[in-house]
Amino acid sequence: MQDKIILITGGNDGIGKATAIGLARMGARVVIACRNMEKASQALIDIKKESNNDQVEALHLDLASFDSIKNCVENFNTRYNKLDVLINNAAHYTSYLQKTAEGFEMQFGVNHLGHFLLTNLLLPSLQAAEKPRIVNVSSNGHYSGKIDFNNLRGEKSIKKYYGFEAYAQSKLANVLFTREFTRRYPDMICNSLHPGGVATDIATKNAVGLVSNVWSLVKPFLMSPEKGAQTSIYLAASPKVNKINGQFFDEKQKIRKPSRLARNDELAKRLWDVSMEFIYH
């Protein structure tokens, strides 16, 4: 991975940080894009120390804000003339209704729409690389997901909000985005993945009640972020992926069949078209 430039969203903690360490150990130049720059500063120290690689940088990125995403891309482009690997890793879970700066339901807005905008804005940088790759961190939660085009701003969630339902929708969107991106840009390698059941803080930061309590109980029995990062690292770096495109991988780096809806080309195209309208209007 020498001379490769890699951008990882949410690279200051959990799977993202472990992914950054793993790829930095391979000699890559790693950029972590993070909302909390104080945590990012500490993460830089840790990543450099554990990887023995000083070529690690942090950029501010709030995926819940289109302006922040645009600023992040501008800052990236002033520093680098290409992007070899984009890892859309950051994820948000909440058990109560939250909205992005543009008014979208937070999980759809961050987990899908923010990464959708980021990827599209970074296309010129990706196309400037020799063999660009995009890695979309999804989840097996997508198997329960449906895309409700009439509820992407939380219109139906005012009275009752179902956190996992929204999460599953956003993770399905990750897989559909991967599928449609591959159709539109066949010369790039783009795959999605389930990292496994990983002991991160995703279900406790913005969750209350049963979800938070259950997650706290099972967390000690889940795999480490280091193990959870292995498929992301594999898809970013392995030569075995050179000709594999548009697939969904599991935590063992094996290709798995995604859900029926995730294989629906018409749904993937509709989601792409709607997402384009959202980010450019």
What pLDDT score was predicted for residue 213?
44
Give yes or no: 280 in active site: no
Q: What is the pTM of this model?
A: 0.92
Any residues with CB less than 8 A from the CB of 16 and at least 6 apart, and which?
A: 8, 9, 10, 32, 87, 89, 90, 229
pLDDT tens-digit profile of 20-45?
999 999 999 999 999 999 999 999 99
What pLDDT score was predicted for residue 159?
74
What pLDDT score was predicted for residue 208?
54
pLDDT tens-digit profile of 133-157?
999 999 999 999 999 999 999 988 7
What pLDDT score was predicted for residue 156?
86
Q: Please state, rounded to an integer, the average pLDDT across all residues of the chain.
A: 92
Percent of the chain with pLDDT over 90: 83
Q: What is the distance between the alpha carbons of residues 92 and 111, in angstroms, rounded to a whole number?
A: 6
160 band by pLDDT with thresholds 50, 70 and 90: confident
What pLDDT score was predicted for residue 220?
58
What pLDDT score was predicted for residue 8?
98
pLDDT tens-digit profile of 168-226?
999 999 999 999 999 999 999 999 999 987 555 544 465 555 444 444 444 454 678 88
pLDDT tens-digit profile of 247-269?
999 999 999 999 999 999 999 99
What pLDDT score was predicted for residue 219?
45
Per annotation, catalytic residue among 161, 167, 185, 234 = 167
260 class by beta-carbon count within 10 Å (0-12 exposed, 13-18 middle, 19+ buried): exposed
What pLDDT score was predicted for residue 1?
83
Identify the structural domains of the chain with CATH numbers, from first to last. 5-280 (3.40.50.720)
